[in-house]
Amino acid sequence: MERTLVMVKPDGVQRGLVGPVISRLEARGLKLVGLKLVRISRELASRHYAVHQGKPFYEPLLAYITSSPVVVMVWEGSHAIAVVRNTMGVTRPDEAAPGTIRGDYALDVGRNIVHGSDGSETATFEIPLFFREDELIAWDRSVDPWILE
């Protein structure tokens, strides 16, 4: 099983879209193993977005992500990273397909509702930024035989 980090960003929390995001990921068959409402500190934001340091959008990104609470989650499932990425839609909402989170709920790249790890190395880096291992719950779902081969 693969795990990935998903974040409902400040715009998604402020617009009351946490529920729809969770519903879409659950409907895909992914299993929620961690969930928190957090206010990200500048220090944590700097670590999370370190890859973008020096880019023109870095400082506005830090200001935005620390401006309001976010919901961070860890989802588990077969090909969880790809499934989440496809469910979210491409980064630029104007290019995101209808039926995706960004295609249905977002207009601007700077307010695109959600973040998801873009690969296994990224997920391995991002998850411990927000969750201790003992905060992630391993559990059995009775519907798994109907979702997983």
pLDDT tens digits, one per residue of 20-58: 999 999 999 999 999 999 999 999 999 999 999 999 999
* pLDDT, tens digit, 9 for 90 and up, residues 72-131: 999 999 999 999 999 999 999 999 999 999 999 999 999 999 999 999 999 999 999 999
Which CATH superfamily groups domain 2-140?
Nucleoside diphosphate kinase-like domain (3.30.70.141)
Q: How far apart, in whole angstroms, are the C-alpha atoms of residue 149 and residue 142?
A: 14
Domain boundaries, the chain: 2-140
Classify residue 109 as exposed, middle or buried by CB count within 10 Å of its CB (0-12, 13-18, 19+).
Answer: middle
Cα–Cα distance, 42 to 22 (Å, whole number): 26
Q: List active site positions.
A: 115
